[in-house]
Chains A and B, each alone.
Chain A
Amino acid sequence: MKMTKYALAAVVAFSASSVAIADGHGNKKATDTSPAEDLAAYRAYFDKRHPDDGAGGKPDFSNGVYSILADARSQWENTEEFPPYEDMVAKGEALWNTKFANGKGYGSCFGDDPAQRKNYPMWDDKRKMVVTMELAINECREANGEKPLKYKKGDITRLTAYMAYESRGQKVDVQIPNDDALAAYNDGKSRFFARRGQLNFSCASCHVQNSGTRVRGDTLSMALGHGTGWPVYRQKWGDLGTLHRRLGGCMKQMRAKPYKAQGEELRNMEYFITHMSNGMEFNGPSSRK
């Protein structure tokens, strides 16, 4: 196979001790590798790092650590016999079908189709910004004279749980159509790989370099697959939460000041994180420890 200049950069980046792909730090610029190269690098890295699902099969990375730990997977399968988010999906369906005060509903913004997962996050070229599904929901509400929903928990998670459930099986296919979108993607990528906070860890420190390793009783999940299952029911929360809730929470755990939910930083990170799951299937809502 003929190695292009960029493929070589990706391979060199691989062997760099701190990161698997060019991240915008150290001597490498985020722009050194293209999104397509990043995708290939992720898959090669995680396939090599986790060849086994713990039961003699190949991991389905869309199930977090349950993809690689047979013991934890069987406990999770037991939980899923009565999915903890079942009632919330039903509540979300009721919310979807409830008209606004002006007589219109969510259907008027979303073409009467709740199965919207595959359309987000997307690059809005008019406004030069990344639009997430949660943002689109609140923009729909505000356009129809309704107050916006809170972004981390509550009704927005019921709505997105219903929409995600209806969208199950859709392939992740985040598009990066032009240079402005690419800049947002690279911004998200840089933030994912940036060290931060008192502990001086980056997202990649745990979820790329140390995926599968233990932090006391927890096993660190792989970054590949992080985009597919939202919203997530976490046992620790006893409730559903959005991706931005988890990102902010994790930053707090790293003793860093958390980015604001649906602010530019987290939307760009969502753009990067979800793109890296391209080709996998959306499987939200999902349940985790």
Chain B
Amino acid sequence: MNTDMKRRVFLKGSLAAGTVGVAVSAGLLAPQAVMAAWPKAEFEAKKMGDLGAASGDIKVKAPDIAENGAVVPITVSHNMKADSVAIYASANGTPLVAQFMGPGAQTQVSTRIKMGKTGDVIAVVKSGGKLHHAKKSVKVTIGGCGG
């Protein structure tokens, strides 16, 4: 597919020559993580799949009341060995918001997400072949004072 071709070329160009090879052999850069196609079906799914068991080892930090539903800051932290950390907004039309992989996904990750209405921010950590999750409820309201 055209986009995949562009992306592979782009990745090779963006890292120092030979670094990709070194990183792969050192186990730091699993080929799947680099070359996996963007998971279209997952991002277009209208329902969340299996979330796995609730885990106290995962913390989801998000506001109680979002100042602006279009920009909700969230932080997910955990202490597992994560293959991936996925973030869902349960009340969004397509709940999957993001997936994070690699060394940077092992302790904490923060971003800002869109929430169409009041719902849960859910973090799903895939570890040791199993899924684990934690959630935080966020209220999204309409403001009264625009101007």
Q: Footprint of B on A, CB under 8 Å?
A: 71-72, 74-76, 78-79, 214-218, 220, 235-236, 246, 249-250, 252-253, 289
Contacts and interface: CB of A to CB of B under 8 A. Distances in A.
Contact of B63 (A71, A235, A253): A71
User: Which of B64, B65, B73, B145 has the largest count of A CB atoms less than 10 A from its CB?
Assistant: B145
User: Which of B68, B142, B144 has the largest count of A CB atoms less than 10 A from its CB?
Assistant: B144
Contacts of B65: 71-72, 217
A172 to B, nearest CB: 24
B147 A217 contact: no
A74 B74 CA distance: 11
Nearest to B65: A71
B82 to A, nearest CB: 23
Contacts, number: 52
A35 B65 CA distance: 38
A246 B63 contact: no
Given A75-B73, A246-B147, A250-B147, A216 B67 contact: no
B147 A252 contact: yes
Given A71-B65, A74-B63, A218 B71 contact: no
Nearest to A251: B147
A250 B146 CA distance: 8
Contacts of A250: 145, 147
Given A78-B73, A289-B68, A236 B147 contact: yes
21 contacts: A72-B63, A74-B73, A75-B66, A75-B72, A76-B67, A78-B112, A79-B73, A214-B144, A215-B144, A215-B145, A216-B141, A216-B142, A216-B144, A217-B142, A235-B68, A235-B71, A236-B147, A246-B147, A250-B147, A253-B147, A289-B68
A230 to B, nearest CB: 15
B18 interface: no
Nearest to B74: A78
B147 A216 contact: no
Chain B contact residues: over half helix, strand or loop, or mixed? Answer: loop
Which 9 pairs across A and B sit closest by C-beta, in order of nearness? Answer: A215-B144, A217-B141, A216-B144, A249-B147, A78-B73, A218-B144, A218-B145, A218-B143, A217-B143
A225 B74 CA distance: 29
B59 to A, nearest CB: 15
A76 B73 CA distance: 10
Contacts of A72: 63, 65, 67
A250 B112 CA distance: 29
A217 B73 contact: no
B67 A75 contact: yes
A216 to B, nearest CB: 4
A38 B35 CA distance: 67
Interface in B70-95: 71-73
Interface in B107-145: 112, 141-145
A235 B73 CA distance: 14
Nearest to B68: A235
